[in-house]
Structures are given as structure tokens and as C-alpha cells.
Amino acid sequence: MTTRAIEPRMELEANLHMYRQMAKIRAFDEQVNELYKSAKMPGLAHLYIGEEAVAVGVCEALRRDDLITSTHRGHGHCLAKGAAVNRMFAELLGKEPGYCRGKGGSMHIADPETGNLGANAIVGGSAGIATGAALSAKMRGTDQVAVCFFGDGALGQGLLYEVMNMAALWRLPVIYLCENNLYGEYTPCGETIAGDILARPRALGVHAESVDGQDVQAVHATMRRLVERARRGEGPAFLECKTYRYYGHHVGDVNREYRTREEEREWMSKHDPLETLASRLTTQGLADAGVFERILTDVKAEIDGGVQFALAAPYPEPNEVDQDVYA
């Protein structure tokens, strides 16, 4: 049979694709930081750099018509689900061709065509939306799955527990995806989370697991199982991804007094998601450094093109201000 020969090749393709997606997210947010520093971007943005394996591992386990809800730190989720860099940059600059015609900005990018129901600037604010999307999928008789991204900080929000309870009662196809990056703003999560995180969903009868969020293959493999489960009608799941944001809470948080430089160096040097995947594939003899360099060059070109597009794009016309308040 030929499948044996093809499978590893396909697997390599899939892994390189995941590497490319992670590299794209990183380059995108590096560019966002530059736009902020050069005062070309209005307002602030929360960078996803360091956490790329989570969004990519998760979204690569989803179909295009599966649904996600995202957070204030959402650029990675949008890109991983298939958003285009040029329209994302345009949104961040408040320009007309942006995903929300400039009305949403960094914290509110929505792209229904790729199954993205929107980022949310209210911590935990999308827990209801994702669960409702799962209820809707069930009512409409599709086999779509909904994924709710949220940070460790959202574990403080009561809404999350209300909807997890209902999702368990009604066996809804929803996955609660906790990106535990150890901090909520400027407070370490040890000061805000009592007890064991996984015990919370488990108490409600929600299947719960934890995974190394810096290992894209591990995130992806775990998510595939959980998505299959949900699609088969076996109910909701909770996945904690242990991860780390390399930059401050937002682009303006440059001093980061609430954590040490050693801690940052440790994560960056030992748990970098891109490095982890690249060195594994290299060690296994599946790829060489040149492969990754080429990907990075491609990605850089895509980002450069995207930002040029956005900088040159027009602002919305003033008369758009009161359009779309109602459907």
C-alpha cells in the first residue's frame, strides 16, 4: 500500500503548515508592536507572541465551519482560524477595508467566513456566546463544534461556570479553552485562583485536561480528540493550555515589574513554540534549517505586504459612523 509512504509526508506538511501559521502570528504581532511604537496605530493592543502554539494547535484541529470566540489577546486566534493579514492590519489601523470596517479595532475582530464569531474586550465575555453557538449547532442539526478561548483571568468570572453547567446538562459541542499564561494583567494567577483549575469543570461533569501549550503537536493531538468527542455528541470539554506571553499585558506595558527577567528568559529559551517544533523536526531528520528559513522569509513578505496595504488604505467615510447600529 502506498499510504505508508504518503502519511509521514502528509504529517510533515501538516507540521510545516503549523510552523508557518505560528511564524505568521509572531511576525504579525511583532509588526503590531512596531506600529504602536512608531505611533501609527491608534490605541493599544495585546500581543499573542509566545502563545502561538495554542491558537494554531487548536484551530488546526477544527474545520473552517467550526466556530471560535476570541479574547482581547485575539490576533493569534483570528489568524489561526484563517483571517488574512492585510485586512487584520487594516482593522488595527481603523481603516475601511478592515474586518470590521474600522469599527472594532484590535479587540473586536470578527470574521464569520472563517468561523470567527469575534474577539471580546470583556474578560470571559464570550463564554455565553460560544456555548450558545454550540446549542445552535445542535438545534440546527449540524455537527459544528464551538471553541471558547479565554485566559486564566476569566476563571474569575461567574458566567463561565453558569454556561459550563448548562453545556454539561445539555451535552453541547463546546470546548472551553483556557490559555493559562500565569498572569491576568499585572497579577500572578496564583493570587487569583483558589484550588485546582481542572477540578472546577470536573465538578460540573465537564471532561477536563491540561496540556503543554508551548508544544503545538501536543495541543493539536489533544484537541483532535476533544473535537471528535464533541462532534460525536459526547459533550463539552475543558482544556487548559499552559503558556506564556513574552511581552507585557499590552504594548504599553514595557517595564513588567510584576515578573522577573529570568522567568521570561526561561520560557523564551526553553519553551519557545517555534523553536520546539523546528528542533524536533530537525532532530527527527524530517527538515533542515533551510526549510524554516524559507518559511520565515515567505511570512515576512506576507506581513510586509499586509502592513503596506493597511497603511495605504482609506479611513471610513464619516457617514459610516451611524451605519450598522441595527440590522
Partner 1 sequence: MSTPEVAARELTYGEAVREAIAEEMRRDPRVFLIGEDVAEAGHPFKVLTGLVQEFGTKRIIDTPISEPGYAGIGVGAAMTGMRPIVDVMFGDFITLAMDQIVNQAAKVHYMSGGKLKVPIVFRTTLGATRRSAAQHSQSLHAWVSHIPGLKVALPSGPYEAKGLMKTAIRDDSPVVIFEDKMMYRTKGPVPAEDYTIPFGVAEVKRAGTDITIVATSSMVGVALGAAKLLEEIGIGAEVIDPRTTYPLDKQAMIDSAKKTSRALVVDEGYERYGVTAEIASAIAEGAFYHLDAPVKRIGAMDVPVPFSPVLEDLTVPSERTVFETAKALCRKA
* Interface with partner 1 in residues 43-102 (CB under 8 A): 43-44, 91, 94-95, 100, 102
Determine the Cα–Cα distance for residues 210 and 197; give it in Å rounded to an integer. Answer: 9
Whether 109 contacts 100, CB under 8 Å: yes
Nearer to ligand TPP, 152 or 240 (CB): 152
Whether 200 contacts 194, CB under 8 Å: no
Task: By CB under 8 A, tell whether 256 contacts partner 1.
Answer: no
* Interface with ligand TPP in residues 49-78 (CB under 6 A): 72-73
Interacting residue with ligand TPP among 29, 152, 212, 302 (CB under 6 A):
152
Chain residue at closest Cβ approach to ligand TPP? 151
How, if at all, do strands 187-188 and 183-184 pair? antiparallel
Three-state DSSP at 319 gives helix
Interacting residue with ligand TPP among 89, 183, 247, 267 (CB under 6 A):
183
| Least Å from the CB of residue 252 to Mg ion | 17
**Strand pairing partners for 174?**
146
Nearer to partner 1, 158 or 290 (CB): 158
Three-state DSSP at 151 gives strand
Neighbours of 50 (CB within 10 A): 24
Task: By CB under 6 A, tell whether 154 contacts ligand TPP.
Answer: yes
Concatenated DSSP letters for 207-253? EEEEEETT-HHHHHHHHHHHHHHHHTT---EEEEEE---SS-SSTT-
Nearer to partner 1, 123 or 239 (CB): 123
- Binding residues for ligand TPP (CB under 6 A): 46, 72-73, 121-123, 151-154, 179, 181, 183-185, 249
- Binding residues for partner 1 (CB under 8 A): 42-44, 91, 94-95, 100, 102-108, 120-125, 153-158, 184-187, 191-193, 257-258, 315-316, 318, 320-322, 325
